[in-house]
Chains A and B, each alone.
Chain A
Amino acid sequence: MGLLKRKNDVYSALIEGAEGVAYTSFYHDAMRRLKKDKIAMVCLFVVAALIIIAIFAPFIAPYEEDYMDVGNELARPSSEHLLGTDEFGRDILSRIIFGSRVSLMVGVVAEAIAVFIGLVVGAIAGYYGGKVDAVLSRIIEIFASFPHILFAIVVMFVLGTGIMNVFIAIGVVGWTGLARVIRSQIMQLKQKEYVEAARASGGRNMQIIFRHLIPNCLSTIIVVATMNIPSDIMYEASLSFLGLGVQPPQASWGSMISEARKFIRQYPEYSVFPGIALIVTVLAFNLLGDALRDALDPRLKNL
């Protein structure tokens, strides 16, 4: 994005200098539309704050992730522990802060895996069409035939627990939506003149796909990926809630809610806090995804 923007700046400066006309590129336009959207700006702020919290967790959190305040288990909120402590005397606020790392990493890494698979499968199916498309479309359909969470559970069973496997499971499960969108976009784009020109000047198929077609789908990829991130975060929380995801002592909001479930009689508030963290994060990404879609690619509205 950074590179692209700089390039556009140069272009617009050149054009403005030459003709004295204000020139705005597609991404400039989109950014301007996004900046006008107040809700989107609030969400952007929340997401930025979350990223900062996740990166600087050890400096922000009042306690270590696994520090146990022995003799002070399941404590109510106090000045010492703002949100109280869990069954081992660990500070709940600190664990929520550290838990943000898992959630955001799932959003980035798992979605990157999903985008990679979806892009390759969708682009090849859309570009070659015919028999290749028929086979790949069936494969997409097969992978879309399991409810996502169920499929992720089976993948976790096969791979074993642990955070790397959570990334893989969620990535392997979540690529079908993007593959479908990219497939149909590339089908339309490959009819364009510039593709014909590239082919006439001796461009090979892979070159055309990766140099011409995929860059033209960039805004779609950004929108679909951002819109998938909240569900990825939710899948991680669900897997960890079921005990199949991130393993203790590493903190994850899902596993915290699962642990809190045992203490709904002694300390009911315990289960509330990690849930709120999860809701705020998912909500911010959700609304940001909607706003990005409206700014970049409103055609994806029926997705």
Chain B
Amino acid sequence: MIKYTVKRLLQTLIVLFGVSLVTFVMLNIAPGDPVGVMLAKRADQETIDRVRHEMGLDKPYTEQFIEFIRGAVVGDFGDSYFQHKPVSEILAGAFRITASLGVWVMLFSIVLGLLFGISAAVLHGRIGDKIIILISTLGMVMPSFWIAIILQIVLGVKFKLLPISGLQSMSSYILPTISLGLIYAASIARLCRTNMLDALNQDYVRTARAKGVSEFKIVMQHGLKNAAIPIITYIGILIKSILGGSVLVETVFSIPGLGKTMVDAITQRDIRLIQGCTIYIAVVFVVANLTIDLLYGLLDPRIRVTQEG
């Protein structure tokens, strides 16, 4: 296990370094001088040169990159060009908002997904099962930003039940959670249904039935338990998808989370903020992946062995 852990940690470090390199290279070949954008057309060449020097932008790229990595290791991404605040401070605030949205989305999609998935498996082949399959198939292809707008129209504008933008109270989270969570709930429902059906067709379930174990116990103990591993794997994917999906949903609902910060930074060409955002999100994702992998290694020795070789 120690060998496996060390190997995965090393791989993660390499990946994170690569992510930083890719981000840095991409953003520094982007056309448009950030200082020129920042000072608009007011400044003359002398001022631009002075500001470039103050910000260290006249140094060679290799030196800038080393400085950037040195800062990134301790979580310092420099100051934002426009907000005149440290990028790390902006990101920490935005991350809290996206994280709480993410937690709501996960709770919503897991509860709804399991509920529908278990019902479909129990009702296998009957009309209820077919309706759930139909709904979840549709749910998987509806774009979150479109659901968001439809919810805004119906619940916000028509019936004036819920706030349609901003983040004033807890109820502001309801619509974003539903619009982002539906697609994941649909995926979880399908995943849960397929895996539970696989399990419920096994011989040991027939034996349990023959022994007279109650149907409820069979569904929960044999069915759900076997569906658990694929669902846990899916949660890893879920974290990545929520981070990506937040970009769209936060924009629609004007929620100042990581996604909206990123989109705003792009429109303002605030390169330091974009850099910080990208790496922040990649780190969150990579660390989540690592944790899941290590948990697996702990739970299932087979994975550990095949990956060590």
Contact = CB atoms under 8 A, between A and B. Distances in A.
Contacts of B286: 145
Interface in B151-201: 152-153, 157-158
B29 A147 contact: no
A283 B18 contact: no
A142 B19 contact: yes
B244 interface: yes
B101 interface: no
Interface in A70-113: none
What DSSP secondary structure best describes chain A's contact surface? helix
A38 interface: no
Interface in B8-41: 11, 14-15, 18-19, 22-23, 26-27, 29-31
Contacts of B22: 142-143
Given A141-B11, A145-B15, A146-B19, A238 B150 contact: no
Q: How large is the interface on B (under 10, 10 to 19, 20 to 34, 35 or more residues)?
A: 35 or more
A138 interface: yes
Interface stretch (A44-52, A54-62, A200-208, A259-267): A259-267
A149 B145 contact: no
Contacts of A271: 146, 149-150, 153
A141 B285 CA distance: 12
Interface in A229-249: 230, 234, 237-238, 241-244
A129 interface: no
Contacts of B245: 149
A298 interface: no
B141 A147 contact: no
Interface of B: 11, 14-15, 18-19, 22-23, 26-27, 29-31, 137-138, 140-143, 145-146, 149-150, 152-153, 157-158, 240-241, 243-245, 247-248, 251-252, 262-263, 266-267, 269, 274, 278, 281-282, 285-286
Interface of A: 138-139, 141-143, 145-150, 153-155, 157-158, 160, 230, 234, 237-238, 241-244, 257, 260-261, 264-265, 268, 271-272, 275, 278-279, 282-283, 286-287
